[in-house]
Structure 1
């Protein structure tokens, strides 16, 4: 029996837990072919740990978990929630059942950008009430009076906006500023799950659990994808964001276009009774025009 047929048979057999699935000979061969035998056990241990800490992932197809994790490994990003490089996020697909999608974290953006060697400076931060004196969008000049005397006080202060900038090694600079209201409007427009959280007073989505983290990701994506230099790795990561990675390497997107960075998700800390049902669709024209279909 071929490796492909063995994997297909294994994928359809949902009696396998993730540990048993990853230690099958055909699956181990696939892992070794991608990342090398010496790192295979480390990779398997990391994925088992990630799945065991998120009960919702345990209900996803093993192949979707493996494919997302192999993509993260190929990008040299860690699945550790503490590092925040990327996440495997459960979704209900009407045809396939529960599947794991690949979601890039804002720290993953930073890692990949730095690794490209093109960025001399790269930063994103929340701006607190009373700190912003002005932002000139035409010349991209900003004046901020940071609350440096008390970082604890600053942490508790209301956020009024977000600022991101980069400087390339060739001297090119770009900066953007979004108000908190602008970011809220973006989140409501592109994340039905977050809108439901607001309507129902729940906290199931990443936007609700970590609004600043999702805002940082939005700022970096807007900044880098429109004006930055993107390495092949960074293009692949952005192109794969919020996608189910199929066994043949193709991608199916959930609530995704060239600016969507979130869909209804489950976090480790908060698990709703069921995962949001979302139809899987091909990339929109805008997404394809910016990143390609691959």
Structure 2
């Protein structure tokens, strides 16, 4: 009898779709986004994203909406296949709940850089064993012997990551991190990865997260950042209880109150070897 009562309560619990389609919530979304048409389009896309992720369905509904609105305000798609940004469930241990956090993908960084019109070239790539001949961190001169056979290159182990950009005004900047340096970075800034829990994005696709880290380091320190790019960097890896509240950050030394939960998602965080805008 007790189990039947619990099952009935679960069945009667409001779904995310019913919550986000309610008059009050839909009106607030439409007002935030600037039009009813854009609001309805947003609701359809975010319901689709939530339906593919069981853990996301268990998050506080307002945090899902807030994470999605951040992405929509940047004109980025929540589709896992596109990889612009992700709504990642994290456990807020302080308040005993699960929240949806906004996490920018490296393809999102590229989209925002391209849109700014300030970047003539931008590239990030994994460097394979045997390719790197020398790298001078003072002059940023790099010498490589690229493995030209795609299959051979794919099989070769990764030893580091290289990123560069050239602005339309001619300014250039590049960066190379060894895989060991990237490992240290991941250990420092991802509690889940440091604990080897097996389900963080660092563990699902280390290269993809490394690409994002290189781009973030390059663009935030030396690139020209549009208002959109600034917003993306300021809200990356954070959650909001509502769209007007201040972001709360996770996976950092400053905040140890949230922990990533296992992501139930068939479309994993998979990225290609390298990308280039030329």
TM-score (norm 1): 0.80
- Tell whether the 8 Å contact from 1:191 to 1:264 is kept in structure 2 after alignment: no
**1:189–1:256 distance in 2 versus 1, CA, 3 Å:** closer
CA distance in 2, matches of 1:43, 1:96: 28
Aligned to 2:66: 67
- Tell whether the 8 Å contact from 1:191 to 1:263 is kept in structure 2 after alignment: no
CA distance in 2, matches of 1:124, 1:141: 15
Q: 1:257 Cα deviation (Å)?
A: 6.3
1:95-110 alignment runs, 5 A limit = 95=95, 97-110=97-110
- Tell whether the 8 Å contact from 2:199 to 2:262 is kept in structure 1 after alignment: yes
Paired residues in the alignment total 249
Aligned to 2:182: 183
Q: 26, 29, 32: which is aligned to 1:31?
A: 29
Where structure 2 has 5 or more consecutive residues not aligned to the other structure, the ranges are 1-11, 267-278
Q: 1:269 Cα deviation (Å)?
A: 4.2
- Tell whether the 8 Å contact from 1:162 to 1:180 is kept in structure 2 after alignment: yes
Aligned to 1:233: 228
**1:127–1:263 distance in 2 versus 1, CA, 3 Å:** farther
> Following superposition, which runs of at least 4 residues in structure 1 exceed 4 angstroms of deviation?
none
Comparing 247-256 and 175-184, the one that deviates more: 247-256
1:1-294 alignment runs, 5 A limit = 15-35=13-33, 36-93=35-92, 94-95=94-95, 97-148=97-148, 150-197=149-196, 202-247=197-242, 248-256=244-252, 264=260, 266-269=262-265
Where structure 1 has 5 or more consecutive residues not aligned to the other structure, the ranges are 1-13, 271-294
Aligned to 2:272: none
- Tell whether the 8 Å contact from 2:237 to 2:250 is kept in structure 1 after alignment: yes
**Cα offsets for 1:233-266 (capped at 9, x unmatched):** 10111000111123123211113369xxx97353
Bigger relative CO (Cα 8 Å, ≥ 6 apart): 2
- Tell whether the 8 Å contact from 1:21 to 1:27 is kept in structure 2 after alignment: yes
Secondary structure in 2 aligned to 1:123? strand
Secondary structure in 2 aligned to 1:249? coil
CA distance in 2, matches of 1:265, 1:139: 42
Secondary structure in 2 aligned to 1:154? helix
TM-score (norm 2): 0.85
- Tell whether the 8 Å contact from 2:89 to 2:260 is kept in structure 1 after alignment: no
- Tell whether the 8 Å contact from 1:102 to 1:240 is kept in structure 2 after alignment: yes
CA distance in 2, matches of 1:161, 1:171: 26
- Tell whether the 8 Å contact from 1:68 to 1:100 is kept in structure 2 after alignment: yes
